[in-house]
Structure 1
């Protein structure tokens, strides 16, 4: 009986934030958005002003993707962190005053907190009716919104248990201790909660194992059909799904938002020179600062990339930070043990870079300084006080430099066979086909494997 009651308490705690969001409705039943304060803490000696602005943009993009919050403001702070509460006392005092004055009820941190830190911070701000999410909480809630298949939903449940578990233990222990007024009873009930979560985790893993075996059997069938699989990988919102649509007739839903794809999608692509078909697999995008346990929770979805014949790394070349994002994806591929797989870089969104085409700049050998003068741009050094117009101009300059340095990119990534395309405008798609004809020759030797080895 006690075990069932504890399990019910545990379930209520895990779903608390979702339930609260659903209860916020106006008289006409429309959802009322909570006011959210976004904050990111970075060490002064490790982060430049430009990097801080990039972090601000990505955090706001994640929150806008979730969509249920009105962003009150974003604080980007260079500060040391506090071991207990993560936020130092001075920042906390300012934060509480600001939230009171502006009716903020949600604090979203762009950082990943330790379980005890977020628990202590949540307890402190509970008196102010302020809910707290860290970066992983935000990402998992975005995942929950976009999950469609039972596989994706199971993986999210698993990730939430692994991330939320320690907080649930603390909450259960504290609440039950207060109810019983005896330390021993609280500890006993906390252990019951731990056992319940461990059992729930095992049950989810068993269900996911069945999904993995089914997907493996499908891969074996594809191998027998003598069709190679090329997996699209890349940073979230790099244009993988749009690339999938450009190369196949799959017609997947495409939106300009983060984490639109959580499930694996397969389509057929025709290679005209060798008159054969190959499979293209589109799967979940990556993002910086993902903890290993979150990546591990999505092992089932990522299995298509892990077992693919070739990786096609899609890059948004119009993004000012695209080289950093290449490194983020490379690091995750290494953690997955597939960094040595055959792969090539697909520099996407070349149509977004600038109005002047790459041919005009590269082929005509235009001097870059003269080019800047011709379009009335100046080299501007950004500071915290820089105007929005200055920031826009610098962003345009950086995009133009990306095109101007195409030769540099070809040289730097020569071993990874870079291809420059626009999936949206269907530009240079034949270059992808030609590259795949070379990377996967027609007499390709198909490897066989057993599902028991996965």
Structure 2
């Protein structure tokens, strides 16, 4: 697939204000997307319309103005802050004599540049091909039907051949991704059996998710002040004070009007978000558009069926506002929001404290005193990775400090016919 940075580096941006859209915010985001793609912005052409024009999207007069602007500035690409139909794209390219990119193609290109893992590259390629499928058009020299001896017959047009090859490649990609999804599901089931809680970091792109992930796990996930700096999901263990181990998952950032092809391609990756015990919704507290960004994240979570997972709001970048780190609690005394700065490393202890409190509501911590004849239950607890500490006493008994979910403890009590209940110390 093409990469925009290889095709063009100087662009004219086009934005149309429609009455029903938040135009100013979208235009700012387009500039950030273009910058993230490594393309220089020469000029922005804006206009107001009640509805898109069927032929040029922006109307004939603005199309003439755009063509003149492209020629005057020697621009090599035109980028629209909207999704164009294949016909509109073709008409604009012929009229302006340069390549025309819409918002979806731009986002797909950025994803193609950022993907690092094999699975991430496959997911991006699948999304690109699915987007391209509706944009294959008939050219002037794409016919293979010819007359002459041995050449008569219906044959196959170049367009038909391209579509067939594209369908075959899409089918192969889906098969590979399904296999990788099954492998990922096996790892997910193993974590569920061990009852290790999973914390999934979600949020708008460039909110500081990867920086926070690196701070909490001492990992080295790539983080930069740009949209979609990281795409590939990363999982690491963290040790929460007064609780124990949990698994932290970093996922792709969300954005307004995230292309549906991308959401579909990344669904297996976003499964971690759907199955998490708690979502850490990271928010750029210094962004003037933070409320709108939060709403967009919730819309994407609804689209991937992850809106019902318990959430802890994490307001990041408070150092830019001159605020102090703090925890906000609800009427039940449980944390609902944490204010911190991941870059400055301020307030991380409060976040760990809040997570431990929330997980403690879902998980039990018990101390058991097992006699020598209960060695089978000791082995079972180790198999479940529920043992935090172990101490052997002089009389042969074993003192275990364990942590597990309430549901898992109920199953163990049932299996032991309530025998384990007699071994509880605290």
- For the 8 Å contact 1:286–1:329, the answer to whether it is kept is yes
- For the 8 Å contact 1:176–1:185, the answer to whether it is kept is no
Distance 1:446 1:228, change over 3 A: farther
- For the 8 Å contact 2:67–2:95, the answer to whether it is kept is no
| 2:214 match | 245
Which of these residues, 142, 145, 169, is aligned with residue 176 of structure 1? 142
| 1:424 match | 343
| 1:342 match | 310
1:356-375 mapped onto 2 (5 Å cutoff): 357=323
CA deviations 1:154-190 (Å, max 9, x no partner) are 011100111111222x14x554149869xx9697443
Distance 1:179 1:74, change over 3 A: farther
Q: Which structure has more helix as a fraction of its residues?
A: 1
Displacement of 1:201: 0.8
Which of these residues, 312, 327, 331, is aligned with residue 280 of structure 2? 312
Distance 1:214 1:52, change over 3 A: same
- For the 8 Å contact 2:81–2:102, the answer to whether it is kept is yes
Displacement of 1:121: 2.6
- Provide structure 1 residue ranges, at least 5 long, that are not aligned to the other structure: 1-13, 25-32, 360-405, 448-454
Larger RCO: Structure 1 or Structure 2 (Cα < 8 Å, ≥ 6 residues apart)?
Answer: 1
CA deviations 1:264-312 (Å, max 9, x no partner) are 11112111112x1101000100000113222111112212212222211
User: When the two structures are aligned, how many residues end up with a matched partner?
Assistant: 359
Displacement of 1:111: 0.8
Distance 1:198 1:440, change over 3 A: same
User: Is 1:85–2:56 an aligned residue pair?
Assistant: yes
User: Is 1:333–2:301 an aligned residue pair?
Assistant: yes
- Which of 1 and 2 has greater Rg? 2
User: Is 1:217–2:186 an aligned residue pair?
Assistant: yes
User: Is 1:269–2:238 an aligned residue pair?
Assistant: yes
- Provide structure 2 residue ranges, at least 5 long, that are not aligned to the other structure: 148-152, 365-404, 409-426
Which of these residues, 55, 62, 73, is aligned with residue 33 of structure 2? 62
Distance 1:434 1:89, change over 3 A: same
| 2:392 match | none
SS in 1 for 2:142: helix
Question: Does 51-60 or 341-350 show the bigger shift?
Answer: 51-60
Q: Distance in 2 between matches of 1:446 and 1:345?
A: 26
Root mean square deviation of aligned Cα: 2.8
Which of these residues, 247, 262, 276, is aligned with residue 294 of structure 1? 262
Question: Does 205-214 or 293-302 show the bigger shift?
Answer: 293-302
